[in-house]
Amino acid sequence: MSEHLAPRGSESVAPGAEYAATASSAYRAALSVIESVEPRIAAATRAELSDQRASLKLIASENYASPAVLLTMGTWLSDKYAEGTIGHRFYAGCQNVDTVETVAAEHARELFGAEYAYAQPHSGIDANLVAFWAILAHRIEQPALAEYGVKGINDLSEEDWETLRQRFGNQRALGMSLDAGGHLTHGFRPNISGKMFHQRSYGTDPETQLLDYDAVRRAAQEFKPLILIAGYSAYPRRINFAKMREIADEVGATLMVDMAHFAGLVAGKVFTGDEDPVPHAHVVTTTTHKSLRGPRGGLVLATKEYAGSVDRGCPMVLGGPLSHVMAAKAVALAEARRPEFQTYAQNVADNAKSLAEGFLTRGARLVTGGTDNHIVLLDVSGFGLTGRQAESALLDAGIVTNRNSVPNDPNGAWYTSGIRFGTPALTTRGFGAAEFDRIAELVVDVLKQTTPTATAAGAPGKAKYSLADGVADATKAASAELLDAHPLYPGLEL
């Protein structure tokens, strides 16, 4: 085992402390080389580290990858074209990329207990595109080709291909609505998925704001989707995937789960049994850079039945894989297979509970009344603010979040009425329950001292606000105490 993959003590959750000195030299050398070619890029890279070190990062989709993961991305693996699949490439000389992709897929299969893993997607959106087309190919193209008596689509005449293409389009997909926490790629109009599919959404219960499985079942039975999509970007609760599979089976749909947000909680065995999507879904997609704490990228997991279609991601919707990023995925997945990643994942969930409790005890309102994953969704309408005003005021005070719709949001998707908080990043820095309670206190203080201001026309604006004097500085000072106690990349000096 190499130095950077040596096991760490389970008490340490911040990855990389044990090789910080070596990583410091590597980064210093790299930045001086970059500086000699384009100093502005070296400066922006240094500034980004200082900014990240100095802010309370509560964006639910972000994290801090280990220096091992980050360093893996900066190599000549980036220079190699390797379109195709392991052992079957359209380019010569891909033996090392074959090794990289094999190791990444092997770690992914072992970590998640999946029958098949595809490590090529460049991002979450790509992983979903691969999955959609793989499902369409598996469910429609294969039986249709059998009908025409040919082996592959290239064997079809122009006319038969045209007929088949008509049957590919306009399939039905059923996914969670955007304002209940679903993602744009789950069939919504601004995304290509909304153009590929007739889409219908399921929402949440108007009273509890929790997923209503009976309503999902009713929608599925009425709409008869080809694909039932489960997964979310802003739903603060766990999902019962066994129930979702039951519903999919009842209507003959393929169950696709997008676990981009909560993959780290699956990897860390916080979500098990019915809450683990892998044993229940036909196809699972994820990003690797959120709670999973890897490089920016995507991954598709599938049952053996769907493996062949998923493997056609390239050339179906992908070109050459990012071999350097696949290498970094392998390193991150190796890290996630260590026992201390389970401690990390449990801390992520425990910290979210502490943050939620901290808000509730201070009188704030949370969507669904709490959390049992890594997300807390605060309804800021009780403070008389829009999400946009709250997000900006918090940023002025050094607290980085993002605004988000709440179910049936009266302010729409741009201004919104919510702020989404997530615990993965600060948990990586070693923040615990007490620090998250203190964060809740700081956030509530800032929001209480923020007032919406009038527009030029005199009406209350949805974007303008004013923060009481001194609040931003006082909050930054209080945050600095928390941040100094839990440095980002401890021991890493540029």
Q: Catalytic amino acids?
A: 81, 83, 258, 287, 290, 296
According to the binding rule CB under 6 A, does residue 183 interact with ligand PLP? yes
182 among annotated binding-site residues: yes
Smallest distance, Å, CB 358 to ligand PLP?
24
Q: Nearest 5 degrees, angle CA 173-CA 177-CA 178?
A: 120
Q: Which residue is nearest to ligand PLP (CB)?
A: 124
Binding mask 224-243 for ligand PLP (x = CB under 6 A): -------x-x----------
Query: How far is 334 from 76, CA to CA, in rounded Å?
Result: 21
9 among annotated binding-site residues: no
From candidates 258, 275, 276, 311, binder to ligand PLP by CB under 6 A = 258
What backbone phi and psi angles, to 5 degrees, belong to 257? -115, 130
31 among annotated binding-site residues: no
Query: How far is 120 from 111, CA to CA, in rounded Å?
Result: 17
By CB under 6 A, how many residues form the interface with ligand PLP?
A: 13
**Listed ranges 47-55, 142-150, 253-261, 455-463: which one lies at the site for ligand PLP (CB under 6 A):** 253-261
- For ligand PLP, the closer of residues 124 and 407 by Cβ is 124
261 among annotated binding-site residues: no
Tokens (6 digits) for 95: 């033996």
72 and 295 in contact (C-beta within 8 Å)?
yes
Find the DSSP H helices in 118-204.
124-136, 142-148, 158-168, 192-196
Number of Cβ within 10 Å of residue 185's Cβ equals 26
Smallest distance, Å, CB 212 to ligand PLP?
20
Tokens (6 digits) for 253: 């749909």
Residues 194-213 binding ligand PLP (CB under 6 A) are: none
- For ligand PLP, the closer of residues 255 and 364 by Cβ is 255
Go through the chain and tell me how many residues it has.
Answer: 494
Smallest distance, Å, CB 125 to ligand PLP?
3
- For ligand PLP, the closer of residues 128 and 381 by Cβ is 128
DSSP 359-404: HHHTT-EEGGGS-SSSEEEEEGGGGT--HHHHHHHHHHTTEE-EEE
Binding mask 154-173 for ligand PLP (x = CB under 6 A): --------------------
Tokens (6 digits) for 67: 């220096």
Smallest distance, Å, CB 333 to ligand PLP?
16
The helix/strand/coil state of 89 is strand
**Residue listed under structure tokens 């930045």:** 31
**Listed ranges 139-147, 258-266, 344-352, 382-390: which one lies at the site for ligand PLP (CB under 6 A):** 258-266
- For ligand PLP, the closer of residues 286 and 479 by Cβ is 286
Residues 407-426 binding ligand PLP (CB under 6 A) are: none
Number of Cβ within 10 Å of residue 217's Cβ equals 17
From candidates 66, 120, 171, 185, binder to ligand PLP by CB under 6 A = 185
Query: How far is 236 from 365, CA to CA, in rounded Å?
Result: 13
Residues 99-138 binding ligand PLP (CB under 6 A) are: 123-125, 128
Query: How far is 70 from 329, CA to CA, in rounded Å?
Result: 10
From residue 283, alpha-carbon distances to 217, 231, 257 in Å are: 20, 12, 6
Write a three-state SS string for 69-82: HHHHCCCHHHHCCC
From candidates 8, 27, 55, 61, binder to ligand PLP by CB under 6 A = 61
- For ligand PLP, the closer of residues 185 and 204 by Cβ is 185
Under the rule (CB under 6 A), what is the footprint of ligand PLP?
A: 61, 123-125, 128, 183, 185, 231, 233, 258, 260-261, 287
Binding-site residues for (6S)-5,6,7,8-tetrahydrofolate sit at 178, 182-184
Binding-site residues from annotation: 178, 182-184
